[in-house]
């Protein structure tokens, strides 16, 4: 888990090229694809999704777990509660075949 500011992203480039590709996309601030479902980033299967929504209250949110893929979240505007916790302390409560990640609690 990395929880940091985009201005510090270079500290993490040693973790792999995909992180640099994603950071470059965020820094460009070209979100003209926002009316499309998906924007492909590079040639390594990475993509960006633009989502616009009203944040829900913390108690109504579910917890996601990621073991295979990286999920980078950044806010263009507004505020939202973002929490995190190690998977070691979580319990899987729903594992759906239609979702790539389980829903957890803990």
Ordered per-residue pLDDT tens for the chain, 106 residues: 788 888 888 898 898 888 888 888 888 877 776 666 778 887 778 888 877 788 888 777 777 766 677 778 877 778 887 777 777 777 766 555 555 555 555 5
Residues 69 and 40 in one domain: no
Looking at the fold, whether 4 and 48 belong to one and the same domain comes out as yes
Is the same domain home to 48 and 7? yes
41 lies in the same domain as 64? no
Domain identity same for 37 and 61: no
Domain count, the chain: 2
Could you tell me if 74 and 47 lie in one domain? no
Neighbours of 102 (CB within 10 A): 19
Q: What is the DSSP letter of 60?
A: G
Q: What is the rounded CA–CA span in Å between residue 85 and residue 2? A: 12
Q: pTM to 2 decimals?
A: 0.63
> In terms of residue numbers, what domain contains 34?
1-52
């Amino acid at each position: 888990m990395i929880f940091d500011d985009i201005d510090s992203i270079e500290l993490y480039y040693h973790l792999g090229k995909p992180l640099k590709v994603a950071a470059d996309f965020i820094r460009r601030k070209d979100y003209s694809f926002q009316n499309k479902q998906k924007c492909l980033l590079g040639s390594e299967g990475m993509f960006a999704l633009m989502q616009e929504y009203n944040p829900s209250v913390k108690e109504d949110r579910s917890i996601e777990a990621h073991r295979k893929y990286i999920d980078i979240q950044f806010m263009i505007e507004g505020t939202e509660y973002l929490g995190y916790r190690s998977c070691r302390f979580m319990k899987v409560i729903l594992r759906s075949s239609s979702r790539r990640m389980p829903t957890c609690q803990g």
